[in-house]
Amino acid sequence: MTQPPSIGAPPAPASVPVTATAPRIGLLAHLGAIAQVAAMGVAGTVVFSVLLVLLSVGVGLLPALGIGAFLLVGLVYAMWATAWLEYARVDGLYGYGLPVPPLRSSGRPGFSGWLRTLWQQFADGSMWRGIASSAVTTILGLVVLSVIGALASSVALLFTPLLGSATVRIPVTDTYVGGEWAILVGVLGAIVSLAMLVGAALLHAVLTRAILVPSREAMLLEQARTAGTQRESAVRAGEVERTRIERDLHDGVQPRLVSVGMTLGLAQQKIDTDPAAAKALIDEAHTSTKAAITELRQLARGIHASVLDDRGLDAALSALAARSHVPVQLDVRLPDPQTGRCSRTAEAAVYFAIAESLTNAAKHSRGSEVRVTVRLRDAPEQAVPTLWVRVEDNGVGGAQVLPGGGLDGIAHRIAAAGGISRLDSPQGGPTALEVSVPCAS
C-alpha cells in the first residue's frame, strides 16, 4: 500500500460523550461508598506515594543519561491506570454511565508518533479528572478512617460502666468525663460519627459527579464539535470519491468508448469495399465494448456494493477477496447477519476501507499476501460495540496519506462514520491499517 510522501492525515474525530444517567443513591450505595472511601484512604495513599516517587526520582535522574525519562513514561501510564480504576469504581458504585478514559493514539508511525501519543495521553483531560477524583476520595478516606475510629471508641464507651472506670476519655478529644456520663457520651459520639459517615458518603457522591460527569453544556458542545468533524469528513470523503470516479472514467472507460466509436466508424467505411476487414473491426469493437461494460460494472461496484446490503459484510468481503489481484487471507468473525448486523453506514465504511486497501496493495506494495482481520469488539468508552478491522500486507511499506489519495479517502470516510483509523507503514514494511467504527454509527 505504498504511496508518495504525505502532508499528514486528518484528525480523528472525538468520541461522542455518553450522557450520564441518574445516580443510584440508596442505602447500598451509601454503605458501598463508605467502604470504598475508607479503603481509598489506605490504597489511595499508597498509590499517590508511588506516583510522587516516580515523579521525583524520574525528574532527578533525567540528567543521568535520560534514565529518568523511562520512569516519567511509566508515571504517565500509571496515572492513566489510576484514572481508569477511579472511573470504573465510581461508575460501578453509582451507575453514572461513565466511559473509562481510553489509551490515546496519535495514529502516526515512528518515534515522533509515539512522542505525540505520549503527549496526548499526558494532556488527556479525562485522565486528569480521574486523578483529581481519586485524590479527593483519598483525602476523604483518611477523614472517614478517623470517623470510623471515633465510632468504634464511642461504641466502646457504652461498655465502660461494666469495667467500673471512674473517668472515661471522649473520642477524638483529650477531655475526660465521669464514668456516669460514659453511656450518654458514647451514644452521642456514635450518632455524630454515623452522621459524619453519611455526610461523607453524600459528599463523595456530589464531588465525584462534579468532577467526573461532564455538564450538559460541555456534552452538547462536544457533541456539536464531533458532529462538525464528521460532517467535514463526510464532505471531504465525497470529494475524494467524486475525484476518483472522474479519474476512472477519464482514464479508463472514456478512452475505450472513444476507441469503440472510431473502430465502428472505420468498419462502416469498409463494409462495402472490404467486408472481411469490416467484420474484424466490428469484432474488435465488440470486444472493447465488453471490456468497457466490465469496467463500468467494477466502477459501479466501487460506488455501491449490492452484495453488502443483500448478504452482509462477511459475504461482501469474500467476494472482494476473490477479485483481488493479491492473495488475501480473510479472517472475519461476525455475528450471523440473520440475528443482527451493524448499521449500513458502519459496514459500508469498513467495506470500502478494505477495498481501497486491497487496491493500494495491488498497485503499490509489491507484496505477495494481504491479511484482513475483522472483529466485533466491545468498547468500554462507547455504549455500542465497535467494528474493528486490520489490513496488513507484506510489501515494502512507506505508505502515507496524500490529499485526494486513496488513504485520504479512507481516513475521511471512517471519520464521517464516527470511527478512527491508524496507519503504520515503516520503510521496508509491513503496512498495516487499523480501523474502528461504532457499530451503530
Q: What is the pLDDT of residues 358-403, one digit of tens each?
A: 888 888 888 888 899 988 877 655 557 888 899 988 888 887 777 7
pLDDT mean across residues, the chain = 77
Task: Give 128's pLDDT tier (boundaries 50, 70, 90).
Answer: very high
Q: Could you tell me if residue 127 is inside a domain? A: no
> 140 Cβ partners below 8 Å, 6+ apart?
37, 40, 41, 200, 203, 204, 207
Encode 20-59: b = buried (16+ Cβ within 10 Å), e = exposed: beebebeeebbebbbebbbebbebbeebbeebeebbeebe
Per-residue model confidence (pLDDT) at position 3: 39
Give pLDDT tens digits for 228-271: 666 665 666 666 666 666 666 666 677 777 887 888 888 888 88
Of 126, 102, 129, 131, residue with least CA distance to 40? 131
Report if residue 56 sits inside a domain.
Answer: no
Residue 310 lies in a domain: yes
For the residues 108-125, what does the mean pLDDT come to?
A: 82
Residue 375 lies in a domain: yes
Q: Collapsing DSSP states into helix, strand and coil, what is residue 438?
A: strand
Q: What is the CATH number of the domain that holds 374?
A: 3.30.565.10
Residue 242: inside a domain = yes
Residue 270's alpha-carbon distances to 261, 278, 285, 289, 360, in angstroms, are: 15, 5, 14, 20, 44
The whole domain housing 324 covers 228-438
Q: How far apart are CA 356 and CA 256, in angstroms?
A: 24
* pTM of the full structure: 0.55
Q: What separation, in Å, do the N-terminal and C-terminal C-alpha atoms of the chain show?
A: 27
117 versus 176: the higher-pLDDT residue is 117
* Contact between 81 and 1 (Cβ < 8 Å): no
Q: Is the pLDDT of residue 111 over 50?
A: yes
> What are 49-57's contacts with CB under 8 Å, separation 24+?
50/78, 51/75, 51/78, 51/79, 51/82, 54/78
Q: What percent of the chain has pLDDT over 90?
A: 11
Residue 312, domain member (yes or no): yes
| Number of domains into which the chain is organized | 1
- Long-range Cβ contact pairs of 103-112 (< 8 A, separation 24 or more): 105/422, 107/9, 107/12, 107/420, 107/421, 107/422, 107/423, 108/9, 109/423, 109/424, 109/425, 109/426, 110/426
- Identify whether 164 is part of a domain: no
Query: Does the residue 249 lie in any domain?
Result: yes
